[in-house]
Structure 1
Amino acid sequence: MLALGLFIPTIAICARRLHDAGRSGWWQLIGLIPLIGAIVLLVFYVLDSIGENEYGANPKAVEA
């Protein structure tokens, strides 16, 4: 029951992370490919955010 309640928020958080990295949220579908898809998604999730994107500034960016 808990997994069902966390399903939509998990999709939203993963899409937000992919957007921060400059990719579309649709990249989550690559996770349907066994093993390779999970590895690719993991790499995308841990990559650093790009500087400025359409969703806002990088919160780790140093302001001058």
Structure 2
Amino acid sequence: MNWYFAVIRKYAQFQGRSRRKEFWFFTLINACISLACSLVDTTLQLPTVMEGYGVLGALYAAFAFIPTVAVTVRRLHDQDRTGWWALIMLIPIVGILVLLYFMVQNSTEGSNRFGRNPKQNDNSTLSV
């Protein structure tokens, strides 16, 4: 959960770099929370805001949108790519696959134009 809260603490920080571990643990926990919200919405038969989203799920999606975009941009920065590459996901199927490929790639060694390598900076003991 520490990786999730690390991203939430940087709620709208688009500068800097994020490690693969930070991105993927945030994504995993975000998906689990979204699933839990969906189950609660379904179980309590809460009204739907739009097709497929209950009230709780829609509120969580609104809360998590900015941190998700921010960590994606920082992850792209970690590979010395501009955050504008995130817009490639707007291209159906191919764009999402390209962005997924970018997200699994290793970071650039050392410093790049977006800052120092977070693997080299990370002296904290964040654990899962």
Please give the range of the TM-score, normalised by the shorter of the 2 chains. 0.7 to 0.9
Equivalent of 1:29 in 64, 87, 90? 87
Supply the distance in 2 between the matched residues of 1:60 and 1:10 (Cα, whole angstroms).
20
Q: Distance in 1 between matches of 2:89 and 2:76?
A: 13
**Alignment gaps of 5+ in structure 1:** none
Question: With CA pairs under 8 Å and 6+ residues apart, which has the higher RCO, 1 or 2?
Answer: 2
1:14 pairs with 2:72: yes
1:2 corresponds to: 60
**TM superposition shift of 1:41:** 0.2
- Say how many residue pairs are matched: 61
The letter for the 1-side match of 2:70 is A
Partner of 1:41: 99
| Larger Cα-atom Rg | 2
The SS at the match of 1:13 is helix
User: Following TM superposition, by how much is the alpha carbon of 1:45 offset from its aligned partner in structure 2, in angstroms?
Assistant: 0.7
Q: Which ranges of structure 2 fall in alignment gaps of 5 or more residues? A: 1-58, 121-128
Normalization by structure 1: what TM-score? 0.85
Distance 1:28 1:56 in 2: 19
1-side partners of 2:116 and 2:70: how far apart? Answer: 19
Find the aligned partners of 1:55 and 1:28 in 2 and give their Cα distance. Answer: 16
TM-score normalised by structure 2 residue count: 0.45
2:116 to 48, 57, 61: 57
